[in-house]
Structure 1
Amino acid sequence: MQVRAKLRTAEGHADLAERLLGDAIALVERIDDPEHGELASLELELGHCLYRLGRHDDALAHLDRARELLAVLVGTSHPRYAAALNVRAAVLVSLTQQEAAHALYEEVLAIYQRAYGEHHPLVARTLNNIGYVLLAQHRVDEAAQRFDRAFEILEHVHGDDHPQLVIALTNLANVATERGDHETAIARYLRAKSIGERRLGPDHPDLAAVLSNLGSLYVRQGRLTEAEPLLQRAIANTERNRGDDEILRAEDLTRLGELRARQGRHHESQALYQRALALLGRSLPPDHPFLALPLLGSGAAQLALGDPLAALAPLERALRMMLLDPAARPNEVAMARFTLARALVASQQEPDRARELARTARELFAADPIEAPQVTAVDAWLAAQTRPHRRGGP
């Protein structure tokens, strides 16, 4: 049953895998010692399955049971125990509990280094995970150190054209993006894309992040024609390989929504953001920071469609979430501030607050060279707010 469940999960049918694993656990509990390794493996697999379904609290309960069984069975220094910690850390990342996830990944790293040495692919994978958490906390230099070390290990073990370099290169590209070095980021994304397509095939799940991140960067650069096929491929890839992961699907839809907004196709943009919000609403609590970007996009679409009053609620909610989220990107916070400022003025509410929001947004935009057009837009908008209105009459 466990093999069949893993196949169902790999095929994107985690709901079917959950039923198979539940039946298998019930069977093993009836006929086996509860400390038997098979039960621990089933609990670990079910925890991973529930994580894929976005049921994080349920996942943590099964992962903790697996961890307890494995601690008795193999001890807390065994790689099998580390595997349970690894999945638990991934769940905590989805819950934005980055510090707790970081601590678990460091524990996993220590176990793998003791068991396999410093130059093992599992060590590299864990370094990548740690780097991801650090990057989410905007600890860019620390993240870059972990990613560089992971890449060195994988290149040393496998050579310079191995499929395992795809994720490592994607992570290094993400660091370059955070640093504002977009040409380096693009070069790394394109290298990852080339290796993945040649060595894994054009539809492999490891390519989804490459396609989505590169497409999103092209959108920010205004290269909309190049971004379109990449984002469409990312959506198709996620649907095919990770169709049960509603958070990933929502992220892809949000990025396509931004593209449609840049193209002036605001009705389509609004529909995409609403689909993303519906997916996230099934998987996450209503105050989760992952909802902030589609809320911002939805409010911006409503403003563009001429309904500033309807735009206010999602924009206020998006900005509130971002200000509470230490991982929120400054350019996204700036966009939330500026869009809300425009909606307030368009709906004839709180003009002083609107101008202050716009001034703060300008400061944030000015820190990133790629946002120079936004600085110009804010300046023009602020000038328009201070310009005296012409009176009617002869």
Structure 2
Amino acid sequence: MIKPITIFGNHAILLVIHTTKVALLITLVILSTLPAYAREDLLTDMETKALVLNKQGQYSEAVNTAKESLKVAEEAFGSDHPRLAKSMSILGLIYFSQGKYSDAESIYMQALKIDEKALGKDHPDVATDLDNLALLYQAQGKHTECIPLYKRVLEIREKAFGLNKLIVTTSRNRLGSLYYSQGMYEEAIPLFKRTLEIQEKTPETEQDSIVATLNILALTYHAQGKYTEAEPLLKTALAISEKTHGQFHPEYATSLNNLAGIYKALGKYARSLQLYKQALVIRERTLGPDHSDVAASLSNMATLYFSQGRYDEAERLYKRALVINEKVLKPGHPDMATLLNNLVVLYNTQGKHSEAKHYHERLMSAWDSALKPESNSLPATQAEKPYSGRVYASKHSRSFHRRNCVDLTDKSEDIIEFLSREHAIQDGATPCQTCNP
């Protein structure tokens, strides 16, 4: 009884495959009779269907549909036409979204080769191809590869569209944000300042975009310890947000949160706590109690309490934040790793080593999960030891092997959280021999 059912199933699968091939063959035959605009419409419909299937979680069907669109594109336009490159990019996007990075890279490279040959190396479509590759490399932590691509994208788009177009601003900010995430603050600041200058001179610029640029520029100065440069930028962002949205708005809360961080760094704890609390109230009311931004506010307040030695209050808020993040974030999310790290530091500071060990084990799991897209294994540096050689960085210093990478040199129980290489060295770290021989 089982065998006939199995054979029937195989016949059914073969029938579906045969039907699909026949349908595609019919489509290709019909193509030759269609005018150009109808071919484009048919191809666009197939690509849209592939993207919808992917969004619905029907991943294999999405890939198959996108592959069929490639055959249609090649039949309709030829093997060296930019329209085929566009279809390839859509297949690459689907691979990318499914975590199939090597497949995505291969198809993106093919699209780039076609567009460079057909359109020239300075065409905006080539910039799009390069941008796709850069985003893919960034998702894998391949920052050395993606930085020159982002720079090339920016050059092409500035030349093609001028300095003020949104797509150019987006490219400039992507490059600046990547520099910022890698601790390359001196490289990031000119890009953010240039964006801000253009935004302020362009009447049609949305006020929220200006606020966002003010915040990221202020955060960059903050990371460098340049608090006097950061503070006025955040006050300006607050004023714009209040004028645009009023005080009960997430954008206003973001600027409050960042300004609170400045006051914390300056030792103005009372003022810092006041702003953190205000940001928390706004976020809870506008975003709901289980939003990741609410967890961030709780975690920031907890860190402030920790710096004042108010460990019980810090523990309570960290755990509230953890409950929220466990609901809304993936285990390997950087914010989850940061929060777990803070709990380890909190318990270690109090000599509560069993609690610290518990959260350290969770942190190891979260960190390993976060690194999976970037490499198949942990760094070799002292990998046999549970603490040494593993750098627990701040929210914006994630990768092990980069210019700000450090090795832990103190006791194995000590875990260092840092914003820059200089801060890390002050806390007892030395440059990583792999990155800085």
TM (norm. structure 1) is 0.64
State how far apart, in whole Å, the 1-side matches of 2:129 and 2:336 are.
Answer: 27
Question: What is the root-mean-square deviation in Å for CA atoms of aligned residues?
Answer: 4.1
Aligned length: 310
Larger Rg: 2
2:399 is matched with which residue?
284
State how far apart, in whole Å, the 2-side matches of 1:120 and 1:225 are.
Answer: 40
CA contact (8 A) 1:74 1:81 kept: yes
Q: What's the CA shift for 1:328?
A: 5.2
Task: Check if 1:94 corresponds to 2:206.
Answer: no
Letter in 2 for 1:325: R
SS at match of 1:143: helix
Cα distance, 1:239–1:98 mapped onto 2, change above 3 Å:
farther
1:16 is matched with which residue?
99
1:231 pairs with one of 309, 312, 318: 318
1:326 is matched with which residue?
422
Identity level (%) = 24
State how far apart, in whole Å, the 2-side matches of 1:291 and 1:234 are.
Answer: 28
Task: Check if 1:67 corresponds to 2:182.
Answer: no
Q: What's the CA shift for 1:143?
A: 0.6
State how far apart, in whole Å, the 2-side matches of 1:187 and 1:329 are.
Answer: 32
State how far apart, in whole Å, the 1-side matches of 2:331 and 2:139 are.
Answer: 7
2:235 pairs with one of 133, 143, 148: 148
1:134 is matched with which residue?
221
State how far apart, in whole Å, the 1-side matches of 2:167 and 2:286 are.
Answer: 29
Q: What's the CA shift for 1:117?
A: 6.5
User: How is 1:211-360 mapped onto 2 (pairs within 5 angstroms)?
Assistant: 211-235=298-322, 243=330, 247-270=334-357, 272-273=359-360, 275=363, 284-286=399-401, 289=404, 295=408, 299=411, 301=413, 325-327=421-423, 333=427, 336=428
Letter in 2 for 1:299: K
Q: What's the CA shift for 1:258?
A: 1.3
Task: Check if 1:107 corresponds to 2:194.
Answer: yes
Give the helix-richer structure, 1 or 2: 1
Q: What's the CA shift for 1:216?
A: 1.3
Letter in 2 for 1:326: E
Task: Check if 1:205 corresponds to 2:292.
Answer: yes
Q: What's the CA shift for 1:104?
A: 1.2
Q: Runs of 4 or more off by more than 6 Å in structure 1?
A: 1-8
Q: What's the CA shift for 1:123?
A: 1.2
Q: What's the CA shift for 1:24?
A: 7.1
State how far apart, in whole Å, the 2-side matches of 1:166 and 1:224 are.
Answer: 25
Letter in 1 for 2:256: L
SS at match of 2:422: coil
Q: What's the CA shift for 1:60?
A: 1.8
Cα distance, 1:243–1:99 mapped onto 2, change above 3 Å:
farther
2:4 is matched with which residue?
none
Task: Check if 1:85 corresponds to 2:172.
Answer: yes
CA contact (8 A) 1:85 1:108 kept: yes
Q: Deviations over 1:145-204 (max 9, x none)?
A: 111111111111111111111211110110110111112111111111111121112333
State how far apart, in whole Å, the 2-side matches of 1:246 and 1:288 are.
Answer: 22
CA contact (8 A) 1:92 1:100 kept: yes
State how far apart, in whole Å, the 1-side matches of 2:341 and 2:153 are.
Answer: 35
State how far apart, in whole Å, the 2-side matches of 1:153 and 1:17 are.
Answer: 42
State how far apart, in whole Å, the 2-side matches of 1:142 and 1:329 are.
Answer: 24
1:184 is matched with which residue?
271
Unpaired stretches in structure 2, ≥5 consecutive residues? 1-46, 58-95, 372-377, 380-397, 430-437
State how far apart, in whole Å, the 2-side matches of 1:47 and 1:144 are.
Answer: 33
| Higher RCO by CA contacts (8 Å cutoff, separation 6 or greater) | 1
CA contact (8 A) 1:46 1:59 kept: yes
2:29 is matched with which residue?
none
State how far apart, in whole Å, the 2-side matches of 1:240 and 1:24 are.
Answer: 35
1:157 is matched with which residue?
244
State how far apart, in whole Å, the 1-side matches of 2:190 and 2:313 are.
Answer: 39
Cα distance, 1:299–1:240 mapped onto 2, change above 3 Å:
farther
User: How is 1:368-383 mapped onto 2 (pairs within 5 angstroms)?
Assistant: none
State how far apart, in whole Å, the 2-side matches of 1:196 and 1:233 are.
Answer: 15
State how far apart, in whole Å, the 1-side matches of 2:248 and 2:235 are.
Answer: 16
Q: Deviations over 1:243-262 (max 9, x none)?
A: 48765443222211112223
Q: What's the CA shift for 1:102?
A: 0.8
Cα distance, 1:49–1:96 mapped onto 2, change above 3 Å:
same
Q: Deviations over 1:84-112 (max 9, x none)?
A: 11111111112211111111111111222
State how far apart, in whole Å, the 1-side matches of 2:260 and 2:191 are.
Answer: 25
Q: What's the CA shift for 1:59?
A: 3.1
Letter in 2 for 1:148: K
Q: What's the CA shift for 1:284?
A: 2.3
State how far apart, in whole Å, the 2-side matches of 1:7 and 1:77 are.
Answer: 36
1:350 is matched with which residue?
none
Q: Deviations over 1:362-387 (max 9, x none)?
A: xxxxxxxxxxxxxxxxxxxxxxxxxx
Letter in 1 for 2:99: L
Q: What's the CA shift for 1:207?
A: 3.2
